[in-house]
Amino acid sequence: MTRQSESGLPIEPVYGPDALTGWDPAERLGEPGSYPYTRGVHPTMYTGRPWTMRQYAGFGTAAESNARYQRLIAHGTTGLSVAFDLPTQMGHDSDAPIAHGEVGRVGVAIDSLDDMRVLFDGIPLDRVSTSMTINAPAAPLLLLYRLVAEEQGVPADRLTGTIQNDVLKEYIARGTYIFPPGPSLRLVADTFQYCRREIPRWNTISVSGYHMAEAGATPAQEIAFTLANGIEYVRTAVAAGMEVDDFAPRVSFFFVARTTLLEEIAKFRAARRIWARVMREEFGARNPKSLMLRFHTQTAGVQLTAQQPEVNLVRVTVQALAAVLGGTQSLHTNSFDEAIALPTEKSARLALRTQQVLAYETDVTATVDPFAGSYAIERLTDGIEDETLALLRRVQELGGAVAAIEQGFQKREIERSAYRIARETDSGERVVVGVNRYALDAEEPYEPLRVDPGIEARQCERLAALRAGRDRAAVAGALDALRTAAGGTANVLPPMKEALRALATVGEVCGALREVWGSHVPTDTF
């Protein structure tokens, strides 16, 4: 009996050479570290060193998150990943009326340089790689990080890490946008230019399919819409006068890893192959690093269940294995209790230990790309590539990623997939262990992590003290300079940095840009 993959591709009971008729291994596979990078972006992959174990963390105040980071580093985390609260993600200060009830809830509240100092207190920024999951206000958060590094005496060319900075997927699947698409793309291009000059080792964007997958996208939709957004960013930077090889090596990606192990491995392989061809054939990139699709992976939060949460440990292990066998460069493993609340310290440690067991107690790091040549994997890789290319053509026919977003194309396609998944789960056709099969009559009690409700008041007090003690004239002048740059063609990051140095808040910086660029208001097509 033939089953179907998440992307609707047939999965045959048995594969053999006939499944790969007309298949050229040299063209499709190549060697690890060589075009088209199907087998991985590095020749040695994990035989040289394992992937970066980057645990996503952040909650409450900067001091509380700093304590969690210190413990994660002590337990063996090799890269930090900062989760920001919703007000910060939307460019609002903690004392803004719209922020009420959300301060410190799903991430750390960062309002100013003072908060960023506390967040990284005692953490040497020249020895730790930091990823910041921030999009619309990515530029001010990166600049705050650089200012803290300067205070630590760390040169900007020693800083390594990533800002997500992918606002297009916010219009598709997540909603934490601030400005309209045009100014948002300009801010992305300004960030590319600034980092090339000032922070050359920083990854300036992490084009994200994760959130689209969490909203219901199939694997083929996930990589198609992600790569379409990546193409739009590259076009924007080239139109702004940048040479593709000047910025493309610092473009990275962010994908989900589901429990459908075989299709996920195939997905990552197909994504690398497609991106390499697009960069070489459409944009004429010549630097091999411009052709490499380097990506971070997070295990699928949407597949975690509040019922029998310990079973999530099994799900996360399978998902992490899919990411590793697919060739990820860094990995976050979700904690088993995240369907209930923010992870406890113990559950976060268990999530990290999952990666460490895979890296040091299994043999998956002993050889490069162990699934190469598998009839099933190679056929699935080809199938996902075909499905992805068909969706990419459709996006281009609509005028590119932004035009397709404005017509609601990606959102509609993802919603159809999400509806299908929900119906299959409700009917029992799609088995979810502990939910629609093998459920318990009564769940065991579990005590989740609880965020202190007094955080908001304390954060507002910090803001009041900051505003009372700073040079108001210097802040006002710096914000005026930022508005002038935003209204013209100059890069907005240098005046933005000076405003933040003068202790302007993230909300004030974003507010100044809103005054010039406006705010995005979704239309009925969204």
DSSP readout, 37-60?
-TT-SSSSGGGTSPPEEEEEE--B
Task: Map residue 501 onto helix, strand or coil.
Answer: helix
DSSP single-letter state for residue 60? B
Task: Map residue 99 onto helix, strand or coil.
Answer: helix
**Statement: residue 525 has pLDDT above 70:** no
Structure confidence at residue 28 (pLDDT):
81
Q: What percent of the chain has pLDDT over 90?
A: 85
Structure confidence at residue 1 (pLDDT):
60
> Is the Cβ–Cβ distance between 365 and 359 less than 8 Å?
yes
Q: Kindly indicate the confidence band of residue 524, based on its pLDDT and cuts at 50, 70 and 90.
A: low
Picking from 54-68, 135-149, 359-373, which range would have the lowest pLDDT averaged per residue?
54-68
Structure confidence at residue 241 (pLDDT):
94
> Is the Cβ–Cβ distance between 402 and 238 less than 8 Å?
no
**pLDDT tens digits, 256-267:** 999 999 999 999
Nearest of 516, 524, 298 to residue 406 by alpha carbon: 524
| CA gap 76, 356 in Å, rounded | 9
**Statement: residue 100 has pLDDT above 80:** yes
On the CB side of 170, CA atoms within 13 Å amount to 25
Structure confidence at residue 397 (pLDDT):
98
DSSP single-letter state for residue 488? S
Mean pLDDT of 168-177: 93
Please state, in angstroms and as integers, the Cα–Cα distance from residue 429 to each residue in 8, 302, 419, following that order: 15, 18, 14
| CA gap 288, 26 in Å, rounded | 18
Mean pLDDT of 92-117: 96
**Statement: residue 26 has pLDDT above 80:** no
Structure confidence at residue 334 (pLDDT):
96
> Is the Cβ–Cβ distance between 252 and 203 less than 8 Å?
yes
Mean pLDDT of 473-488: 98
User: Under the phi-then-psi rule, with left for phi > 0, alpha for psi from -120 to 50, and beta for the rest, what region is 434?
Assistant: left
| CA gap 9, 4 in Å, rounded | 5
**Statement: residue 526 has pLDDT above 70:** no
| CA gap 201, 56 in Å, rounded | 21
| CA gap 347, 333 in Å, rounded | 11
Structure confidence at residue 447 (pLDDT):
79
Q: How many CB atoms lie within 10 A of CB 236?
A: 18
Which residues are CB-contacts of 309 (< 8 A; sequence separation ≥ 6)?
336, 337, 339, 340, 446
Cα Rg for the chain, rounded, in angstroms?
23
Residue 183: cis peptide before it, omega within 30 degrees of 0: no
Burial of 526 (0-12, 13-18, 19+ CB in 10 A): middle
| CA gap 86, 89 in Å, rounded | 5
Task: Map residue 431 onto helix, strand or coil.
Answer: coil
E strand intervals along 431-487: none
Could you tell me the two tokens for 332? 């976050």
Task: Map residue 129 onto helix, strand or coil.
Answer: strand
Is the pLDDT higher at 344 or at 474? Answer: 474
Q: What angle do CA 111, 115, 119 make, to 5 degrees?
A: 130
Picking from 216-225, 316-325, 332-341, which range would have the lowest pLDDT averaged per residue?
332-341
| CA gap 78, 470 in Å, rounded | 36
Q: What is the mean pLDDT of the chain?
A: 94
Q: Which residue has the tokens 């202790």?
A: 503
